[in-house]
């Protein structure tokens, strides 16, 4: 308890902008807790951290924490973060986004930031729905689910944020859930330690919108659903495709080393000044 109080005092803008906008039982708070513990554990200075977000429930996260914080336009957080990182590489830039933010309106920026291997950590809270605007379907809403704009049924197919990130070139991709908060924290820590574009997808729930419309219960029931449908990468390796049909993998999906953009660009700077290429 004392530890938690210390973290709250140290990292939250507790005297300024509370209470927050999130619904009671929302997973974003759990993700924020994991994020702060991971940052604290790594021992970063608050001054060297820039927390960037887009629009939506998750986009509101930075305002509550005592870092350099930037709340950008919808879907564009990674572009702003790219500019910050390249202009001042010593800063630790962390980007938090929702699923609609990261892979609908910001999908193009997402794959290109991964492809360039910009040294950022992208933390994406995936609750399968646009929560703030009232529960409309997003690119991660599963087929057949009901939302405010798919009251008959969602006839679009969802895609997987983590697999997309792997394909696009991210050096580290981890997936956790807000139920598995400790795993989430450790994935974030691993992501922070990587040099290059790292992604932590956080499976969360929106009981207020998505849960209500699909009769999935409250926050507790939806977190139980996460518990029952998540399979660790290690365990999944032992399972058949049939057994994995309605499951999703959690853990480290990829961990590889590639030179980050800023190192590549340093080469350009040297070559531009006439330094011989090796």
Partner 1 sequence: MKKKALKELLLQGNEAVVEGALRAGCRFFAGYPITPATEISEQLSVRLPQVDGTFIQMEDEIASLGAVIGASLAGVKSMTATSGPGFSLMQENLGFAIIAEVPCVIVNAMRGGPSTGLPTSPAQSDVMQARWGTHGDHPIIVLCPSTVRECFDLTIKAFNYSEKYRIPVILLIDEVVAHMREKITIADDETIDIVNRVKPTVPPEWYIPFEDTPRGVPPMADFGEGYRYHVTGLTHDVRGFPTSRPDEVDAFIRRLFRKVSQNFADFQIGEHYHIDDAEVAIIAYGCVARSARRAVADCRDKGIKAGMLKLNTIWPFMRTDVEKVLRQAKVVIVPEMNMGQISREVKRVNKGSAKIFTINRVDGTIITPQEIMGRIKEVF
Task: Tokens for 128, please give them.
Answer: 């399968």
**Nearer residue to partner 1 within complex by CB, 62 or 139:** 62
**How open is the CA angle 42-120-90, to the nearest 5 degrees?**
70
**265 near partner 1 (CB under 8 A):** yes
**268 near partner 1 (CB under 8 A):** yes
Q: How far is the CB of 91 from partner 1 (least distance, A)?
A: 5
Q: Give 241: exposed, middle or buried? Use CB within 10 Å, 0-12, 13-18, 19+.
A: exposed
Q: Binding marks (x or -) toward partner 1, 84..123, rule CB under 8 A?
A: xxxxx-xx----------------xx--x-----------
> C-alpha distances in angstroms, 113 versus 53, 151, 210?
15, 34, 29
CB 274 within 8 A of CB 255: no
Cis peptide before 277 (omega within 30 of 0): no
Q: How far is CA 141 from the centre of its chain?
A: 16
**221 near partner 1 (CB under 8 A):** no
**How open is the CA angle 161-164-167, to the nearest 5 degrees?**
155
* Total chain residues near partner 1 (CB under 8 A): 41
**Nearer residue to partner 1 within complex by CB, 113 or 252:** 113
Q: Binding marks (x or -) toward partner 1, 9..28, rule CB under 8 A?
A: ----x--xx-----------
Q: Binding marks (x or -) toward partner 1, 52..81, rule CB under 8 A?
A: x---------xx--xxxxxxxx--x-xxxx
Residues that bind partner 1 (CB under 8 A): 13, 16-17, 46-48, 50, 52, 62-63, 66-73, 76, 78-88, 90-91, 108-109, 112, 265, 268-269, 271-273
């Amino acid at each position: 308890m004392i530890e938690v109080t210390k973290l709250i005092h140290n990292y939250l803008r507790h005297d300024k902008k509370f209470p927050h906008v999130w619904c009671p039982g929302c997973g974003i708070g759990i993700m924020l807790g994991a994020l702060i513990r991971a940052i604290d554990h790594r021992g970063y200075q608050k001054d060297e951290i820039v927390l960037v977000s887009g629009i939506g429930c998750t986009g509101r996260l930075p305002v509550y924490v005592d870092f350099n914080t930037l709340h950008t336009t919808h879907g564009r957080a990674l572009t702003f973060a790219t500019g910050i990182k390249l202009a001042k590489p010593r800063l630790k830039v962390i980007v938090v986004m929702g699923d609609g933010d990261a892979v609908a309106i910001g999908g193009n920026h997402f794959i290109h930031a991964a492809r360039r291997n910009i040294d950022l950590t992208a933390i994406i809270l995936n609750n399968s729905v646009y929560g703030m605007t009232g529960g409309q379907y997003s690119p991660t809403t599963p087929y057949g689910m009901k939302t405010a704009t798919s009251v008959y049924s969602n006839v679009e197919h969802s895609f997987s944020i983590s697999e997309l990130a792997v394909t696009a070139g991210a050096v580290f991709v981890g997936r956790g859930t807000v139920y598995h908060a400790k795993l989430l924290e450790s994935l974030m820590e691993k992501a922070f330690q990587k040099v290059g574009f790292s992604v932590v997808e956080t499976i969360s729930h929106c009981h207020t919108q998505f849960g209500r419309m699909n009769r999935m219960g409250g926050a507790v029931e939806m977190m139980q659903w996460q518990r029952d449908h998540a399979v660790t990468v290690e365990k999944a390796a032992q399972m058949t495709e049939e057994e994995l049909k309605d499951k999703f993998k959690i853990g480290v999906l990829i961990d590889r080393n590639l030179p980050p953009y800023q190192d590549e660009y340093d080469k350009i700077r040297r070559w531009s000044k006439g330094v011989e290429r090796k």
